[in-house]
Amino acid sequence: MASDSSTVGRFSASFTDNRSIEALKAAAARDPKATIKEASKQFEALFMQEVMKSMRSATLSSGMMENSATQLGTEMLDTQFAGKMTGLPGGLSQAIERHLQRQMGITPETLNRASGTGLERRGDLTGTNAALPQLAKKNVQPHVQSFILQHDGAAKAAQAATGIPASFMIAQAAHESGWGKREILNKDGSSSFNVFGIKAGAGWTGKVAEVQTTEYVDGKPQRVTAKFRAYGSYEEAFKDYARLLTGNDRYRDVVAKANSNSAEGFARGLQKAGYATDPEYANKLARVINTTVRVQRALA
């Protein structure tokens, strides 16, 4: 589907203009990937034109053969140069593209659904429409519902392998990824699908995403650069999570007691086993588990 170029033109003036962002959201609803990519290129082109303009203003002019016609020609030439320098791999437009996606809450799942690979196109939301208005009245955001529904199948497969309730695993993925809004990204901006925040240790031989994260040392948060596992899909992430918990002795009690344990007990068990360094990890995770269970019951 072609992007809405007229809409792109209207919001290209500013990142922070609310009307521009709303226009971008409307166009992104029809074709998010193409629209955001085109918008990013336009922003980069505008920036490059300003750079060219600044460079020319800093250069001493001779005054010879300079008039409104030559000035117009120079500006048109600068526009062409800016266009040629826009959209290159690793350029500014890719960084802008990621910024726009985060600002509008557009995640890789959103892009998948728009392209026809998501849950809505597969019909997995059948029978849930009646529950959605009720959830909205309870201040349950659409992205929360979407996250739970999207990962339901992979979580149930992992439950069969570990005995850990699917709701617990979906909640942990939600907590680690901010309901899909803070996913660990590869260098090219694509998703690593690592919704559990599993690090790439010495024994990991797969792909790696290297990003900054917060670790707690002696109870104090510190920003560090760490390597995380990268997968080819969310299903792979859930399978690897299942292998991690069942194949590591330190999680033995967590797995053994998972089915008979409460949300708080499961969360405390994970923290005690060293899954995360955040001293409040158990309390935070328990709250997300309770939210997940509540939404799942409403959708059932």
What gap in Å lies between CA 50 and CA 281, rounded to an integer? Answer: 46
What gap in Å lies between CA 133 and CA 205, rounded to an integer? Answer: 45
DSSP classification of residue 185? B
* End-to-end CA gap in the chain: 35
233 sits in the region (left: phi over 0; alpha: psi -120 to 50; else beta) called beta
Choosing from 97, 109, 176, 240, which is the catalytic residue? 240
Tokens at 254, concatenated: 């967590």
What gap in Å lies between CA 276 and CA 269, rounded to an integer? Answer: 11
- The dihedrals phi and psi of 222, each to the nearest 5 degrees, come to -135, 140
DSSP classification of residue 178? T
Choosing from 22, 215, 253, 280, which is the catalytic residue? 215
What gap in Å lies between CA 68 and CA 60, rounded to an integer? Answer: 17
4 is catalytic: no
Contact 104/28 with Cβ under 8 angstroms?
yes
Contacts of 189 by beta carbon, 8 Å cutoff, 6+ apart: 94, 97, 98
Contact 139/295 with Cβ under 8 angstroms?
no
240 is catalytic: yes
Smallest CA-to-CA distance from 195 within 219, 165, 170 is with 170
Catalytic residues: 215, 240
